[in-house]
Amino acid sequence: MSELLSTAKVQRFEAHIRKNYDGVFFELMITHDLLVRQVLELTWIIVRDRKQGVGTAIMRELCEFADRHAAEITLKPASSRDNAATTSRGRLIRFYKRFGFTKDKHPPAGSTIAPTMRRMPLVGLTPLSPFFA
């Protein structure tokens, strides 16, 4: 059975990421929708030194944390044109797909903002990371 995510638990996880990955800006937001789903929104992840495996390691930990708590993860990939990313949106979408994210099939009509991507929790898995308390 999954544990209910609290704001405090999410904040501890954010602190864990910031402590273990120097120079990373990382921010989550937790919501609980009417269907009693827990949704973690990845609002920011900025990795100073790309191509060092840091982003991959953080995403693995985030996915494990979400799975442990049966939480969906949502995000909107930034673009270098937004001044919020250091690479193209297409590259980020491919990166997030490696972790099981999919693009929303029905974006809002006339939307020009970044597509929302979602990752549903994988249940019944054993966490690999020591950070799950």
pTM over 0.85: no
| 51 dihedral zone (left: phi>0; alpha: psi -120 to 50; beta) | left
Task: Specify the residue for token string 């990166």.
Answer: 95
Cα separation, 118 vs 111, whole angstroms: 17
d(Cα 73, Cα 46) in Å, to the nearest integer? 17
Q: Is the pLDDT of residue 108 over 70?
A: no
What domains, with CATH codes, occur in the chain? 7-119 (3.40.630.30)
User: In the structure, what pLDDT confidence band is assigned to residue 81 with cuts at 50, 70 and 90?
Assistant: low
Instruction: Name 45's bridge partners.
Output: 26
pLDDT of residue 16: 95
Question: pLDDT exceeding 70 applies to what percent of the chain?
Answer: 74
Cα separation, 113 vs 39, whole angstroms? 20
pLDDT tops 50 at residue 87: yes
Residue with tokens 């708590």: 69
Which residue has better confidence, 26 or 84?
26
Helix axes 54-68, 7-20, angle to 10 degrees: 160
84 vs 88, residue with greater confidence:
88
Looking at residue 132, what is its pLDDT?
A: 46
- Per residue in 34-54, pLDDT (tens digit) is 665 789 998 888 777 767 888
Confidence band for 77, pLDDT divided at 50, 70 and 90: confident
